[in-house]
Amino acid sequence: MTNPIEVLVPDIGGFKDVSVIDVLVKDGQQIEKETPLITIETEKAAMDVPAPAAGRITQVKLKQGDKVSEGSVILLIEPAADADADADAAQTASAAHDANSTPAPAPAPAPAPAPAPAPDAAAAAAPARAVPGAAPPIATRADAAIDESAFSKAYASPSVRKFARELGADLGRIKGTGAKGRITQDDVKALVKAILTAPQAAAAAASPLPKVPVVDFALFGAIEVKPLSRIQRISGARLQASWINLPHVTQHEEADITDLEAARAALKGKAAQEGVRLTPLAFIVKACLLALQEFPRFNSSLDPGGENLIFKKYFNIGFAADTPNGLVVPVIANADRLNVYEIARALALMSEKARAGKLKNTEMQGGTFTISSLGGIGGTGFTPIINAPEVAILGVSKSIQKPVYDGSAFVPRLMLPMSLSYDHRVIDGAEAARFVVFLAKTLGDAKKLL
């Protein structure tokens, strides 16, 4: 018998201050090697941390709700006599890992008890493999499609959260049937069953995507590898999901904003005195709101089964904001209740917060239609990707003076290029054309927007 040793949180892929959602053992308990000790929940996955050796737990150092990072002490254990070698290996390798040196040789880790992880889970689990024998393999379960913010807010017990993680079920999509709306295990099962029996899921399972070739770029010259930012990783997965799942069509149109710009120029100075930066985008948001009210289908979403259209009676406008950490989409809630000055104020306030990384999750949720404006930068047109489950997005490019024939002569007019991408399952081409024509007409009539 040896002195108690500390069992530490192993490398968890760089995540810090991760929540302990379950403590699975207690003081005095005899455990086997690989017995799950705690469950931690990163934004990507729930993971069980298993015991590095068999023995008797002398003191559990963590409780549910604690935050941990790599190296946090989980518990003290008196290793069983025949487990000393494992325990020594675990300790030695932990120390070696802390010092960033090569890990001590140790027996190859036992295979992870969990099913083969999804790609995201594989990334989270990779560091554990990089230190053979140092930390025992971690069972990870993840689902890239989970809305982490909604998941974390869902009203459910730790065991139900764990169960949902195991199945890759998004708690944020479940309406609890338990006491006070608490989500039960049966609710999670019902969601999974609904997804599995949906026709789309069957189709998706039957047609895995072909893979892009893997190239070792270093064979051809010098390279430098930099990690994507957290925002880029999250938005990248969502953009890809939208691109793959929604049949996109982009409808282009130009709006004559000569008169609107004249009106804006006249109002800009006074607005600035009141602290409002009146950019073209505020008027474009206003025009979109009028168009959405005229064409409610553009403010709808398909239900997950793809059989019903959900018309939203509120108008929350998201706008793409370029930030040093990547693309974010702040949402102006109930924008239809605001005048153009209030919209301009909201745009300025939220883009400033976005760039400072201070947007709350709630300020990026609930959007019903998105605008991506690259007009301040340039370009003549692009193909914006729909912010699914929304069904349309307006891309705006830089306005430019163009010669427009007025029936007798070419006259200079300020033209604003617009690119409307829409989900062709929900919106027909003719309706999309009507939408952009309406939008262009509205933007041509400044009085309608003030």
- Of 13-32, binders to ligand CAO (CB under 6 A) are none
Binder of ligand CAO out of 373, 419, 421, 442 (CB under 6 A): 373
Binding residues for ligand CAO, how many (CB under 6 A)?
Answer: 20
Q: Report the residue number, 181 or 376, with the smaller CB distance to ligand CAO.
A: 376
Asked if residue 212 lies in contact with residue 356, where contact means CB atoms within 8 angstroms, the answer is no
Least separation in angstroms between CB 340 and ligand CAO: 12
Binder of ligand CAO out of 128, 138, 320, 427 (CB under 6 A): 320
Binder of ligand CAO out of 376, 403, 412, 429 (CB under 6 A): 376
Q: Report the residue number, 96 or 404, with the smaller CB distance to ligand CAO.
A: 404
Residue 288 CB contacts under 8 Å (≥ 6 apart), including other chains: 317, 369, 371, 394, 439
Binder of ligand CAO out of 290, 309, 327, 450 (CB under 6 A): 327
Least separation in angstroms between CB 379 and ligand CAO: 10
Q: Report the residue number, 42 or 373, with the smaller CB distance to ligand CAO.
A: 373
Binder of ligand CAO out of 374, 426, 440, 443 (CB under 6 A): 374
Least separation in angstroms between CB 170 and ligand CAO: 25
Site string for ligand CAO, 386-415 (x = CB under 6 A): ----------x-xx----------------
Q: Token pair of 435, please?
A: 């939408």
Binder of ligand CAO out of 57, 106, 288, 416 (CB under 6 A): 416
Three-state helix/strand/coil letters over the chain: CCCCEEEECCCCCCCCCEEEEEECCCCCCEECCCCEEEEEECCCEEEEEECCCCEEEEEECCCCCCEECCCCEEEEEEECHHHHHHHHHHHHHHHHHHCCCCCCCCCCCCCCCCCCCCHHHHHHHHHHHHCCCCCCCCEEEECCCCCHHHHHHCCECHHHHHHHHHHCCCHHHCCCCCHHHCECHHHHHHHHHHHHHCHHHHHHHHCCCCCCCCCCHHHCCCCCCCCCCHHHHHHHHHHHHHHHHCCEEEEEEEEECHHHHHHHHHHHHHHHHCCCCCCHHHHHHHHHHHHHHHCHHHHEEECCCCCCEEECCCCCEEECEEECCEEECCEECCHHHCCHHHHHHHHHHHHHHHHCCCCCHHHHCCCCEEEEECCCCCCCCCCCCCCCCCCEEEEECCCEEEEEECCCCEEEEEEEEEEEEEECCCCCHHHHHHHHHHHHHHHCCHHHHC
Least separation in angstroms between CB 43 and ligand CAO: 23
Least separation in angstroms between CB 238 and ligand CAO: 12
- Of 70-89, binders to ligand CAO (CB under 6 A) are none
- Of 251-280, binders to ligand CAO (CB under 6 A) are 279-280
Q: Is 340 near ligand CAO (CB under 6 A)?
A: no
Q: Report the residue number, 167 or 237, with the smaller CB distance to ligand CAO.
A: 237
Least separation in angstroms between CB 65 and ligand CAO: 37
Cβ count within 10 A of residue 292 = 23
Window contacting ligand CAO (CB under 6 A); options: 40-48, 73-81, 138-146, 369-377? 369-377
Catalytically annotated residue among 97, 248, 252, 424: 424
β 317-319/369-373 pair status = parallel
- Of 131-170, binders to ligand CAO (CB under 6 A) are none
Least separation in angstroms between CB 320 and ligand CAO: 4
Least separation in angstroms between CB 393 and ligand CAO: 8
Window contacting ligand CAO (CB under 6 A); options: 118-126, 222-230, 242-250, 317-325? 317-325
Residue 304 CB contacts under 8 Å (≥ 6 apart), including other chains: 173, 194, 195, 198, 200
Strand partners, 252: 419
Active site residue 424: yes
Q: Which is nearest to 169 in space by CA: 150, 180, 245?
A: 150
Residue nearest to ligand CAO (CB): 375
Least separation in angstroms between CB 135 and ligand CAO: 39
Q: Is 287 near ligand CAO (CB under 6 A)?
A: no
- Structure-token match 């990690």, residue found: 227
Binding site for ligand CAO (CB under 6 A): 279-281, 319-322, 327, 347, 351, 372-376, 384, 396, 398-399, 416
Residues serving a catalytic function are 424
